[in-house]
Amino acid sequence: MAAKNGIKFMDNLLLNKININNNKVSNVELIDCHTNRIVKRIDCQYFVNSANNYLTRLIAKRCPTRVRIPTLCVYNQLMVTKPFDGLVDSSGSDSIVPIIHDFDQKFTVYQTSDRSLCLTVLSENDRNGGLNTELPEIHENWDDFYRILKPILERIPALSAAKLHKLVARLE
């Protein structure tokens, strides 16, 4: 639906510059990650920053005019399993887990290239992490995962056979 309304999602490109006319975004310049050449200049009325808090600082530096980019950094828990082979489809062959975003439960699940699963969970009550650009040490919180494991296991029952590799807390 977003694509039908003109929204474009672009991967493997770096933001080079945000151009401003009359205090409004007029276009953005994108660079190919591999060749470092400008590949696109996109005329737009809006630019949506999907970078995290730390990358936002870099985006702000790419604009010749001062641009205010509002962010709220919140605590995020990331659980990574050890690689496992329990993911099979109905025919018994290996299955690739699609990226699952559950915005109601505030979790994301995705499979890595080594057959591990990553589960990210935002805190139930978002806790402001501030706008500090230093990476603070954050202690992991099993309580954030406890409330969400059941809905994740209902979607991916094979996850119950996985072994935990690590639990990490971070700001995002």
Q: How far apart are CA 82 and CA 85, in angstroms?
A: 10
Confidence of residue 2 (pLDDT cuts 50, 70, 90): low
Q: How far apart are CA 132 and CA 113, in angstroms?
A: 32
Burial of residue 40, with CB atoms counted within 10 A of its CB: 0-12 exposed, 13-18 middle, 19 or more buried: middle
Residue given tokens 């970078």 in the structure block = 51
Instruction: Please count the other Cβ atoms lying within 10 Å of the Cβ belonging to residue 74.
Output: 16
H or E stretch at 54 = helix 53-61
Domain ranges of the chain: 3-61, 75-171
Give the model confidence (pLDDT) of 87-141 as tens digits.
766 666 666 777 888 877 778 888 888 888 888 887 666 555 555 545 556 677 7
Give the model confidence (pLDDT) of 42-54 as tens digits.
888 777 655 555 4
| Cα dihedral 90/91/95/97 (nearest 10) | -20
Q: Which CATH architecture has domain 75-171?
A: 2-Layer Sandwich (3.30)
Residue given tokens 């702000």 in the structure block = 60
